[in-house]
Amino acid sequence: MKSATLFLFSCVMMLLILNTVQEMEGQKVRKCKITNVWKEDGRHCTGDAKARDDMCIEAFAALKTIVTNCTCDETSYPDLTCNCLADSLCLLCFYVCFTLASDPDPIQDFCIPKPMTSPYQDHHLSTNLPCKNSSEVTTEDFVFSGLKIAGNFTETGFATVPVSPANFPGLNTLGLSFVRADLKPGSINPPHYHPRATEVAHLVKGRVYSGFVDSNNKVYAKVMEEGEMMVYPKGLVHFQMNVGDVTATIVGGLNSQNPGIQKIPSVVFGSGINEELLMKAFGLSLKQIGTLKKRFDPVMANEH
């Protein structure tokens, strides 16, 4: 809601400023219809869509006394109006309203989810579970001891202990998750990114080469020493490599309870992308692509 409120405030200010400029220049303000947008998306201002898009409808209705003259046809709310200086601006405001997304703000002090009763529940999204009665909540619900020891190491010398509401109920609805990562000397955490979260990594022990790459392909990396922290902006590829002589330990915090993770090698060579495309993209032979797919494609790996 904070993001939606900020956007709507900015949108209103933009409309008012541009409206003033056009009036000063004596230009005629054009009307634009937003109902075609509803139709193209299969949504209308009535029926189930009204409930589904309640936030957007209420937001526009709240602004109708400030901005006027944008029309809707008979399938829309007849009193839903806004002053649209151009079709593009009208569409921009409309679509962004539907694309705003983040972990929801809590509406109570805490929500300790009840134990799962269905195997189909998403373990990372405990917000879809009912909360325990406050009389059933204990201090232990807010304490997690699972980061004391490392997880199980892979053949490459990398181990993780993910922490989410699934194994730490006290995190539920707080928009947070954590991870402990341990790397044996020379091992790596391959390039990856979290599509829904920014991460802050604290190096507890060891020496680690750590960094990320921005959208201009510029790398920001250094060898971190014990006690140092690094932030990886949301959605940017980042990585770690143990360059020390002892097992390194990193504790990361993420600002989403379901940050998601996509590891670049697995995404590229383990997802079933057309082999010819990969050959052309990387300048590799079919045999080389096949070798990489055998390593990163879980289906092919299990066949060999």
Report the CATH number at residue 167. 2.60.120.10
Count of beta carbons in the 10 Å neighbourhood of residue 236: 15
pLDDT given at position 29? 41
Domain contains 121:
no
Same domain, 247 and 185: yes
Same domain, 182 and 283: no
Same domain, 93 and 178: no
pLDDT band per the 50, 70, 90 thresholds, residue 248: very high
Domain hosting 24: range is 2-99
Domains contained in the chain, number: 3
Does 192 show up as a binding residue in the annotation? yes
| Residues with Cβ within 8 Å of residue 43, at least 6 apart in sequence | 49, 52, 53
Residue with the bigger pLDDT between 297 and 13: it is: 297
Same domain, 158 and 245: yes
Domain contains 234:
yes
Same domain, 27 and 93: yes
Last residue of a domain, one of 83, 99, 115: 99
Residue with the bigger pLDDT between 168 and 3: it is: 168
- Is the pLDDT reported for residue 264 higher than 60? yes
- Beta strands 219-224 and 262-263: pairing type? unpaired
Domain contains 87:
yes
pLDDT band per the 50, 70, 90 thresholds, residue 3: low
pLDDT, tens only, 121-130: 454 555 567 8
- Among 296, 184, 164, smallest CA distance to 248 is for 184
Does 238 show up as a binding residue in the annotation? yes
pLDDT given at position 62? 46
Mean pLDDT of the chain: 75
Does 199 show up as a binding residue in the annotation? yes
Same domain, 193 and 251: yes
Same domain, 252 and 291: no
Same domain, 47 and 28: yes
E runs forming strands in the chain: 158-163, 177-183, 188-193, 199-205, 208-213, 219-224, 229-232, 237-242, 248-254, 262-263
